[in-house]
Structure 1
Amino acid sequence: MNAQNNLLHTYTLGEGYTLSDSREDYAINLRGYIQPYFELKRYEDPDLNSNYSRVRMRRIRLRLTGYAAQQRIEYRLKFDLSGVSEAGEEMGQYLFDGFITYNFNRDHSLTVGQKVPTTDNRELQMGSQSLQLVERSRVTSVFSTIREFGLFYEGRYRFRNGSYIRPTFELTNGDGINAFAKDRGGLKVGGRIDFLPFGLFFNYGQFRQADLVREQSLKLVIGASYSYNSGMSSRRGRGSGDIIYLNDQGLESLPDYQKYGVDFLLKYRGFSMLGEFMASAASVPTDISQRVRNDGSISTSFEVDGQQDVENYVKGRMMLGRGYNIQMGYVFPSNWSIDARYCHLDADQHSFMNNGTFYNRPNYYTLGVTKYLARDYGFKIQASMTYVEASAGSNDVSSRPITGNEWIARVITTFAF
């Protein structure tokens, strides 16, 4: 650290480079990380002789944050140069976060811009570089919207016994990340309430997975979330204009989508446990009579099992069902950790969660090991093995029918700067 012209310069591995004034009236921080990734998938089907493998950059993140006006104003810009979404999809979206926050005081703030919604499951609230397993759970990939644009209120209330309540409220466009084109449907409203009976986590531990700081007293957060998306034009609210329906007058008529969940996070002296449950439901307008194909042409066919069935056809293209994820792990004093996860998905009868290529797999069992090579999450190597139970009608990555289950081996390295 050095001081010159009343400016302070600091660098910490994993926390980035910070420039601030000596009075702490303003500051700016630049940080990032890269994650080289390897995956090998093996099918138990005896008719498939080859394995599927891929090597790629899972994430290349750059984040610029800062504050001004004695920390009343905060801002963040976050980019991902890999073009891969938080759920692992190749989507070519490079801007992740872009928002400004006004802090009324230490306990209440209002944010405008694009950021992670608190109405998603708890795992998505946690930084990608802090994950205790190589990949996020399938509950995240099925139900999360990842990023949304709108207004976000966050509050914090402390009780005399040291416990806290943290409510949030959100009003967004409901169209997911980088919805710069035509705004489809109505707005999305939602919120979350978290209860921390034993006080706040140390060093933002509520938003990080593995307990590297080794909480000296039991920390627990229990939460519930709900959202209602009025007029959705995608499978789960992650995009805009992906799926369009029309009425007899040629006007857009889109289904409503609601999502709710409960979750918890517990940490104590290197041990951590995360549990989450998410569910969704849809309401389909009765005036839908046409649909827009991918090539822009119009069709009046809504065939399901050989019959015209508008409601169930529409629901069959949406993420409808339930899922829960339970995971736990322990970080040894040597900075090795052992982690395990069980994830279960239960699709509605008419839901895209029954898609044979991407989903249609109800149970996931994962065991992982991590070596932390720095004091925090700045440098680590992780490996995991996942056993996947595939239902009848499942396909491989090339959409070929398979019988039997799957094994997935993954390795990832994280280097933050």
Structure 2
Amino acid sequence: YKPNKHWSLSFGQTKLPGNRQTVNSSGALQLTDRSINNTKFTIDRDFGFQIHNFNEFENKFSYNFKAALSGGEGRNQTGKADDGVAVTGKIEVLPFGAFTKDGTYFEGDIQREKKPKLMLSGAFQQNNHARRAMGETGIDLFETRTMKSVLLDAMFKYRGWAAMASYMSRTTTDTAITVNPVNAAEINYAYVGSGFDYQLSYLLRSNYEVIGRFSTQKAGDDIKALTPDTNEYSLGVTKYLWEHTFKLQSELTFDKLTFDTGETKNNWYLRFQVEIGI
């Protein structure tokens, strides 16, 4: 293993150093889609500057620092820019050394780590005067809001076992609800709240993998009357034909939505897909 110790500076539109599931490519996922919390709380892509400092070694304590200064409007924004910027910082700690073949960037232990590997990471972003409901993503708000995001991740892999856990949250410095200045009956809101994801998998010698995921998501106090809390349960089976590049994926998911009135709604999803990478 060649130590990875270097600095990098980049400029342009790319993924921000946020939660692990967003940083990973969609082609490196175990299940057919990212979690409900990733959908609501990810800080996604943005245009700006990034600086990364890598200090990764095979079997000894490793760490990475990452920071970004970006516009805060998200991808492909061509309209009027807001008058704020987004500041993002992240630290990653690997107590037992780097994962095999950059294993922090794909889900599941397809490399069958011979020694336990662990990654702990934390990211924080403040998006000043954001115009969109989820900072860099979502519908436009009627007024800008300054948003603060906290994104925590843990990943463990050993001999075909892989476990991941994450916490995500977003708050605003003012009420999350914005009102149309020409029609007070029309509102849009910033999505505030928090959520946890827990994911566990085991890769059989036949390269079949069994995956379970549980996600729980709670809306913030400002918007509880407008959107439900959600619990999601997923069970998946993946067959790796050529690692993550060529695989067959199936997934059964159950959602339970709980509204502020006490009403509940259940949804079932059955998905199958074939991933063929380049």
Q: Fold match, TM over 0.5? A: yes
**8 Å CA contact 2:252, 2:269 repeated in 1:** yes
Q: Does 1:215 align with 2:113?
A: yes
Counterpart position of 1:411: 272
Take 1:378 and 1:161, find their aligned partners in 2: how far apart are those partners? Answer: 27
Counterpart position of 1:14: none
Q: How does 1:257-268 map to 2 (within 5 A)?
A: 257-268=147-158
Take 1:341 and 1:217, find their aligned partners in 2: how far apart are those partners? Answer: 24
Take 1:241 and 1:219, find their aligned partners in 2: how far apart are those partners? Answer: 39
Aligned counterpart in structure 1 of residue 251 of structure 2, from 384, 395, 404 = 384
**8 Å CA contact 1:323, 1:346 repeated in 2:** yes
For the residue of structure 2 that corresponds to 1:414, the secondary structure is strand
Q: How does 1:175-190 map to 2 (within 5 A)?
A: 175-190=73-88
Residue type at the aligned position of 1:191? G
Residue type at the aligned position of 2:63? I
What's the RMSD between the two structures over aligned residues? 2.6
Superposed CA deviations along residues 324-365 of structure 1, whole A, max 9, x for unmatched, are 1010101111110000000000111223x7655xxx242001
1:222 shift after superposition: 0.3
TM-score (norm 2): 0.90
1:261 shift after superposition: 2.2
Counterpart position of 1:301: 184
Unpaired segments of 5 or more residues in structure 1?
Answer: 1-104, 246-253, 293-297, 304-312, 395-401
Task: Call closer, same or farther: CA 1:233–1:326 in 2, change over 3 Å.
Answer: same
Superposed CA deviations along residues 280-326 of structure 1, whole A, max 9, x for unmatched, are 110128xx9x955xxxxx426278xxxxxxxxx6xx60110110101
Q: Does 1:336 align with 2:208?
A: yes
**8 Å CA contact 2:58, 2:98 repeated in 1:** no
Residue type at the aligned position of 2:247? K
Counterpart position of 1:7: none
Task: Call closer, same or farther: CA 1:241–1:183 in 2, change over 3 Å.
Answer: farther
Take 1:198 and 1:185, find their aligned partners in 2: how far apart are those partners? Answer: 43
Counterpart position of 1:112: 11
For the residue of structure 2 that corresponds to 1:339, the secondary structure is strand
Residue type at the aligned position of 1:348? G
Counterpart position of 1:97: none
Aligned counterpart in structure 2 of residue 277 of structure 1, from 133, 147, 167 = 167
Counterpart position of 2:66: 168
Take 2:58 and 2:14, find their aligned partners in 1: how far apart are those partners? Answer: 32
Q: Does 1:145 align with 2:39?
A: no
Residue type at the aligned position of 1:129? G
Superposed CA deviations along residues 214-262 of structure 1, whole A, max 9, x for unmatched, are 11111111011100011011111124982233xxxxxxxx221000121
For the residue of structure 1 that corresponds to 2:102, the secondary structure is helix
**8 Å CA contact 2:193, 2:218 repeated in 1:** yes
TM-score (norm 1): 0.61
Task: Call closer, same or farther: CA 1:208–1:241 in 2, change over 3 Å.
Answer: closer
1:391 shift after superposition: 1.3
Superposed CA deviations along residues 174-205 of structure 1, whole A, max 9, x for unmatched, are 01111233211300001100100011111111
Aligned counterpart in structure 2 of residue 124 of structure 1, from 22, 25, 28 = 22
**8 Å CA contact 1:150, 1:172 repeated in 2:** yes
For the residue of structure 2 that corresponds to 1:230, the secondary structure is strand
1:142 shift after superposition: 0.5
1:416 shift after superposition: 1.3
Identity of aligned residues (%): 27
For the residue of structure 2 that corresponds to 1:255, the secondary structure is strand
Take 2:58 and 2:5, find their aligned partners in 1: how far apart are those partners? Answer: 17
Counterpart position of 2:218: 346
Q: How does 1:225-244 map to 2 (within 5 A)?
A: 225-239=123-137, 242-244=140-142
Rg larger in structure: 1
Residue type at the aligned position of 1:108? W
Q: How does 1:19-58 map to 2 (within 5 A)?
A: none
Counterpart position of 1:202: 100
Task: Call closer, same or farther: CA 1:403–1:161 in 2, change over 3 Å.
Answer: closer
Task: Call closer, same or farther: CA 1:348–1:364 in 2, change over 3 Å.
Answer: same
For the residue of structure 1 that corresponds to 2:172, the secondary structure is strand
**8 Å CA contact 1:184, 1:241 repeated in 2:** no
Take 2:239 and 2:58, find their aligned partners in 1: how far apart are those partners? Answer: 40
